[in-house]
Structure 1
Amino acid sequence: MSIVPTQQYAPFVLRRSAPHWQSAQPTTTNRDCPSEGCKIPVDIILGSSDGKTFGAHTKNLEVFTEGFPPADLANRSDQPELEVVELPETSAILELFLKYTHNQRQPDLGKYPFAVVSGLAEAAEKYFAYSAMEVCRLQMRAQAQAHPMEVLMYASKHNYPDIRDAVAPFTLGLPLAKMRKELAPNLFIAWVQYREHYLHAIQTVLSSPPSPMAQHKGGFWTCEGWLAFHSALLAKLGGGTFTLNDVRAFPTLVEQLIPPHLKDCTPCARRAQSWAVSASRTLSAAVPSFESCM
């Protein structure tokens, strides 16, 4: 790796309090490497945004990332004490990140809170820690339903169109004002266009239930079971106030309501099943991928 002026490496913010380099809280400086069992000599100290420090190795940072200066540039023989480099990551994120700068088994990210995993994902991208990028990408995609806004922004910022397509449906229930505030203008416009396809699909699904399949006794086309089923469906959907997330779940909801309300009426049960199937087809056919709206 070529030697480049230190200021080109965004992570490094060195503070000096004469006569030596040191952190803002030198009395509590920890020099231990967070990697369990590590025997590599510590030659640099990394400080977190919440005041904790960790021992690290400039050669490891050079080998496992591309966001830190080369070891021969970072190590300066005219400094009698170890440098303390202050980073914007919290101690929980920084401690986890440093484990990816060692030749060891990777941590199980499923055991960590989302805030730490998402912070690690950002750190991996920022410092070009390729050993962490892919596992973070998979973990962020797995959190699409639980944290749609954060995952959408992560996928857009770091150009992961597959994740953006996967998470986009889970953002449809988020308030329009929130999306306008949080998303970049071009991303917000694409999201609104994507949302419009769902709004059109809603009108199609809700305005066209299948016709009755057979007359009931007495010449009626609708039985009490269907009326109970339809009332329960509206109640589940907020009393007729439909949201985008409700419509996404519409086929599943219909299937769930058939047994308790239509088990004694085969024609109406088949009618409801037909509605669920047609809704699924309409949503699949009418709504494009998010990427096509970009």
Structure 2
Amino acid sequence: MSIAISCPAKQISCSRVIVLQSFDNVKFIVDKEELEIDTSGFPPATTPSYIGEVSSLPERSHVLNILFQYVGTQSHRPVLDQIEFALIIKVAEAAEKYEVHKAITAVQFELRKFLKSNSRELLYFALTYWNPQLVEEVAPFMINTPLQEIETLMKHCPRLFMKWASRKNDEDRWRVLFSYGTFVPDIVPVDPLNGLHLSMPRKFLEFLQ
């Protein structure tokens, strides 16, 4: 479990706990063993800590307060459907960053409620933490977004961007498919649609269907 505190860190016995401090100087006492079991982004429970030692985190307390409720066997979990998007996306980012497994599962479910209202933010989140399923789910809500904007977001994911571009029914679609054709090594020698010798990706025809 985790407890938000305001007392001096030196008063805390640290044999089994770690003290984590938020950006706005709120301290959380978290059980080391529970932290090791429920996350993958913190040091193991056997890592020694010392009286008065505090580890600072860049997240604010209202984010960590929700996040740490998914550590340990607490009987009550946050009521996420009452949290606004600005906060829940911060919790989702922290959950991915520190690999808080229960929080990732819970928050991912809630994020789907914002597919229509916050599609751009969710696409950025999905690309940042590489969630192809979420990319697929948000795509229908961004089908009219200019490809140049999508291309910027997906600059490190050329295959994914080419698949996205194939859904567009305009001239930009062809510009994208041909410009990315020589970038992906899995190619065929001839474009069967036009009989042209092009370095087009092997998945090209699948994208067009």
Cα offsets for 1:135-181 (capped at 9, x unmatched)? 11111222111111121122233333222111012123435554444
5 Å-filtered alignment, 1:1-294, equals 30-31=6-7, 43-73=17-47, 75-76=48-49, 79-81=50-52, 83-104=53-74, 105-176=76-147, 178-181=149-152, 183-187=153-157, 190-191=160-161, 194-195=164-165, 197-200=167-170
* 1:55 partner SS: strand
Structure 1 residue 96, shift from structure 2 partner: 0.6
Unaligned ranges ≥5, structure 1: 1-28, 33-40, 201-290
Contact 1:118 1:140 in 2 (8 A): yes
1:123 and 1:152 map into 2 onto residues whose CA distance is 17
Give the structure with the higher percent strand. Answer: 2
Task: Note closer, same or farther for the CA distance 1:55–1:170 as it changes in structure 2 (3 Å cut).
Answer: same
Give the structure with the higher percent helix. Answer: 1
* 1:54 partner SS: strand
Aligned residues: 163
1:116 and 1:84 map into 2 onto residues whose CA distance is 25
Contact 1:31 1:54 in 2 (8 A): no
1:91 and 1:68 map into 2 onto residues whose CA distance is 17
* 2:19 partner SS: strand
- TM-score between both structures, scaled by the size of structure 1: 0.48
Structure 1 residue 184, shift from structure 2 partner: 3.4
Unaligned ranges ≥5, structure 2: 9-14, 171-205
Structure 1 residue 84, shift from structure 2 partner: 1.2
Task: Using the aligned pairs only, state the percent identity.
Answer: 29
Contact 1:43 1:58 in 2 (8 A): yes
Structure 1 residue 103, shift from structure 2 partner: 0.8
Aligned-residue RMSD, C-alpha: 3.1
Structure 1 residue 110, shift from structure 2 partner: 0.9
